[in-house]
């Protein structure tokens, strides 16, 4: 029905069109407004509620300005809307580091949610949420998970929101197929929400809380309505369910739940040592006749004073598939910690009067390419 | 069996057939309304919506069946159109605490019970109380006793429904999604109660 409402053609085309128009000398006044708006943020400390209010007001003002602007003369509502999408993306990409996961509280919540999901992943089954077996479809679920996991690959609120919508559409299709082929009587939200919750747990989407908060605050308000708002709300709902989840939230024996959580916690704690020991075992079991590699790894490990960087001197050729899995999870861990650190460092007042927004010199404001214009063919 | 029972529908011809997809900004003549459905699983929420919405779709199409978000536009006599955006909520107990996320910002809450189930009526009363406490003060609330076709199994009297509704300033109606009885009326009555944006 409203499937198309959130997907206005190809987003990158729209965005380049926006940038093109901005390069037009006739839009110098617009460029100035945008520039000074973005600069105005560097004078104040980040404050999510205030920032969001300012951004939303700016969007509203700019929409009127664009509508009345000579270079958009005679533009249809759709064209103005495209311009606004471009503006949202541009502004929010520029303000991203200030506005996304900007408080220690957000970062903490993200980590807590992600850790809780990690524990749940070790034992949670569809039946714990009473998901009927006709709705269990690993392929569709995987697809939905993938959509959700993409959420941090984008900076623009619209594109993040699209990841959620796409995920939900995959689930809807799955429900529909079950209805057609299995004669499952569809139960609306009674079917949809449990599957979304399960998919969310399987996906453990990065920075779930911060992504939701960012969309809520910075997606143009006129666009977070209707079906988009419905799916968004459902993911907020899934997140809330997960945060509050205890044995009583599930169809599971209370003792079994506690034991499973405890076991998962202990396994998680063990991971660091396990990294090292299994790495060694794997190397030998693979018949690698290079004891040196193993020894080097060991050496490095001791050098690092007990911290866990077992791969520092490993060669690409030594890695097994399981090593790659571990590396990936270590990588994510490092990135999270690094981002947290950067944030912390940034929140100190700058000592030198260097520009924290290097792209603001002259008209180069619009010459920077959008960071994440990956040609994802988003519908 | 789902909600499929053969029935003449669309008697009034007041339903706007096409799906207004333009998404244009709502104005005085075109009102967009967020409507949230609350009630136990099994009381007939999905069937009510389906009965209401189906007119705009090919009746053999399964596309709309069981969707958790549906919209339907109706035209009122004064040529105002009202687009209902209907949000289904999960009825299972374990999700009850999430309901405020859904009814926040809703213009209308429709609380449904099954007239053959006192439990579902008790649950409806719970939702009404919740809405009084946490809903937006100007939310329009409707109390719906569904499955009115099952009179021989009735366990909740019409009077009980009326009383509960009156006490809480709600609009009350008994419906049958099976026979389509009062389904359009439900939505028309809601539409009438919507605050109109002032034109001039
Ligand atoms: N007799 C009768 N059965 C109904 C009516 N409405 C729904 N049902 C049946 O009640 C069951 C649950 O309906 P459903 O719409 O899925 O309930 P929901 O969980 O509240 O969405 C289905 O088996 C329907 O066929 C009605 O008005 N009359
Ligand atoms: Mg239902």
The answer to whether residue A378 is domain-embedded is no
Asked if residue A50 lies in contact with residue A33, where contact means CB atoms within 8 angstroms, the answer is no
Same domain, A42 and A152: no
Please state which of the ranges A237-251, A345-359, B53-67, B135-149 shows the lowest mean pLDDT: A345-359
Give A227's contacts in chain B (Cβ within 8 Å).
Answer: 69, 71, 85
Other beta carbons within 10 Å of B192: 11
Which atom of ligand 1 is least distant from the CA of B39? 20
Same domain, A45 and A122: no
Q: Which domains does chain B have, with CATH numbers?
A: 30-193 (3.40.50.300)
Same domain, A120 and A223: yes
pLDDT confidence band for A309 (50 / 70 / 90): low
Give A5's contacts in chain B (Cβ within 8 Å).
Answer: 21, 23
Same domain, A163 and A198: yes
Look up the ipTM and state it: 0.87
Cβ contact (<8 Å) for A185 and B89? no
Please state which of the ranges A5-19, A235-249, B115-129 shows the lowest mean pLDDT: A5-19
The answer to whether residue A204 is domain-embedded is yes
The answer to whether residue A334 is domain-embedded is yes
Global pTM?
0.79
Cβ contact (<8 Å) for B70 and A1? yes
**∠ CA A329-A334-A337 to the nearest 5 degrees?**
125
The Cα–Cα gap between A172 and B69 comes to: 10
Residue A310 has a pLDDT of 62
pLDDT confidence band for A269 (50 / 70 / 90): confident
Q: Which residues contact A230 (CB under 8 A, 6 or more apart)?
A: B68, B69, B85, B87
Distance A182 CA to ligand 1 centre (A): 20
Cβ contact (<8 Å) for A230 and B87? yes
Residue with tokens 């009179």, as numbered in its chain: B151
Within chain B, which residues score under 50 in pLDDT? Answer: 1, 6-25, 56-61, 200
CATH of the domain at A31: 1.10.246.120
Could you tell me where the DSSP H helices lie in chain A? 11-23, 28-40, 48-67, 77-94, 96-99, 104-121, 138-149, 157-181, 189-203, 208-218, 226-244, 254-285, 291-303, 321-346
Same domain, A159 and A237: yes
Select from A240, A267, A294 the last residue of a domain: A267
Select from A241, A267, A293 the last residue of a domain: A267
The Cα–Cα gap between A379 and A371 comes to: 20
CATH of the domain at A133: 1.20.1050.80
Tokens of A186: 């569809």
Select from A42, A73, A97 the last residue of a domain: A97
Closest ligand (CA of A188): 2
Of A316, A318, A297, which is closest to residue A308 (Cα–Cα)?
A297
Same domain, A329 and A231: no
Q: Is the CB of B149 under 6 A from ligand 1?
A: yes
Please state which of the ranges A192-196, A264-268, A338-342 shows the lowest mean pLDDT: A338-342
Give B99's contacts in chain A (Cβ within 8 Å).
Answer: none
Count of domains for chain A: 3
Residue B199 has a pLDDT of 54
Closest ligand (CA of B144): 1
Same domain, A117 and A184: yes
The answer to whether residue A359 is domain-embedded is no
Average pLDDT over residues A344-368: 46
The answer to whether residue A214 is domain-embedded is yes
Same domain, A89 and A120: no
**Average pLDDT of the residues of chain A:** 81
Same domain, A206 and A335: no
The answer to whether residue A46 is domain-embedded is yes
Pair type for strands B69-75 and B81-87: antiparallel
Same domain, A61 and A112: no
Same domain, A120 and A239: yes
Residue of B62, B68, B70 with shortest CB distance to A192: B68
The answer to whether residue A217 is domain-embedded is yes
Give B65's contacts in chain A (Cβ within 8 Å).
Answer: 179, 186
Same domain, A41 and A109: no
Which B residues 57-96 touch A at CB under 8 Å?
62-71, 85, 87-92, 94-95
Domain boundaries, position A283: 278-346
The Cα–Cα gap between A318 and A290 comes to: 9
Residue B156 has a pLDDT of 98
The answer to whether residue A355 is domain-embedded is no
């Amino acid at each position: 029905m409203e499937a198309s409402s959130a997907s206005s053609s190809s987003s990158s085309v729209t965005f380049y069109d926006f940038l093109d128009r901005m390069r037009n000398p006739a839009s110098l006044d617009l460029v100035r407004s945008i520039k000074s708006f973005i600069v105005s943020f560097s004078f104040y400390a980040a404050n999510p509620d205030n920032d969001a209010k300012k951004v939303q007001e700016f969007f509203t003002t700019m929409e009127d300005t664009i509508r009345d602007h000579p270079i958009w003369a005679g533009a249809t509502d759709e064209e103005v809307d495209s311009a606004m999408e471009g503006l949202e993306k541009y502004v929010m990409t520029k303000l991203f580091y200030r506005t996304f996961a900007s408080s220690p509280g957000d970062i903490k919540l993200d980590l807590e949610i992600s850790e809780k999901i990690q524990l749940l992943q070790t034992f949670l089954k569809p039946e714990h949420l009473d998901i009927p077996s006709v709705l269990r479809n690993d392929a569709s679920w995987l697809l939905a998970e993938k959509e959700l996991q993409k959420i941090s690959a984008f900076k623009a609120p619209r594109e993040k929101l699209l990841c959620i919508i796409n995920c939900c559409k995959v689930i809807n299709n799955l429900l529909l197929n079950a209805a057609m082929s299995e004669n499952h009587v569809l139960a609306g939200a009674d079917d949809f929400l449990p599957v979304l919750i399960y998919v969310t747990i399987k996906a453990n989407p990065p920075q779930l809380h911060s992504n939701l908060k960012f969309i809520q605050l910075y997606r143009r308000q006129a666009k977070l309505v209707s079906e988009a708002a419905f799916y968004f709300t459902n993911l907020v709902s899934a997140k809330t369910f997960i945060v509050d989840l205890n044995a009583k939230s599930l169809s599971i024996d209370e003792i079994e739940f506690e034991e499973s959580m405890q076991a998962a916690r202990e396994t998680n704690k063990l991971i660091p040592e396990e990294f090292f020991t299994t790495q060694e075992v794997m190397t030998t079991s693979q018949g690698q006749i290079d004891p040196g590699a193993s020894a080097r790894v060991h050496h490095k490990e001791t050098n690092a004073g007990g911290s866990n960087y077992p791969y520092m001197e490993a060669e690409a050729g030594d890695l097994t598939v399981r090593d790659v899995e571990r590396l990936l999870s270590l990588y994510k861990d490092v990135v999270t910690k690094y981002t947290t650190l950067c944030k912390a460092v940034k929140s100190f007042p700058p000592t030198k009067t260097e520009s924290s927004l290097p792209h603001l010199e002259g008209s180069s404001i619009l010459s920077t390419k959008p960071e994440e214009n990956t040609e994802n063919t988003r519908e | 069996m789902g909600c499929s029972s053969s029935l003449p529908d669309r008697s009034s011809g007041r339903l706007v057939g096409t799906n207004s997809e333009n998404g244009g900004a709502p104005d005085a003549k075109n009102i967009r309304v967020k409507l949230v459905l609350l009630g136990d699983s099994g009381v007939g929420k999905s069937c009510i919506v389906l009965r209401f919405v189906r007119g705009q779709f090919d009746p053999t199409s399964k596309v709309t069946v069981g969707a958790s978000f549906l919209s339907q536009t109706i035209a009122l006599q004064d040529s105002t159109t009202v687009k209902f955006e209907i949000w289904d909520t999960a009825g299972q107990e374990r999700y009850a605490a999430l309901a405020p996320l859904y009814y926040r910002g809703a213009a209308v809450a429709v609380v449904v019970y099954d007239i053959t189930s006192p439990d579902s009526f008790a649950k409806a009363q719970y939702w009404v109380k919740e809405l009084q406490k946490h809903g937006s003060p100007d939310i329009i609330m409707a109390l719906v006793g569904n499955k009115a076709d099952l009179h021989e199994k009735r366990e909740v009297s019409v009077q009980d429904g009326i009383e509960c509704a009156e006490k809480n300033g709600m609009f009350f109606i008994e419906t049958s999604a099976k026979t389509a009885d009062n389904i359009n009326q439900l939505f028309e009555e809601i539409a009438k109660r919507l605050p109109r944006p002032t034109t001039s």
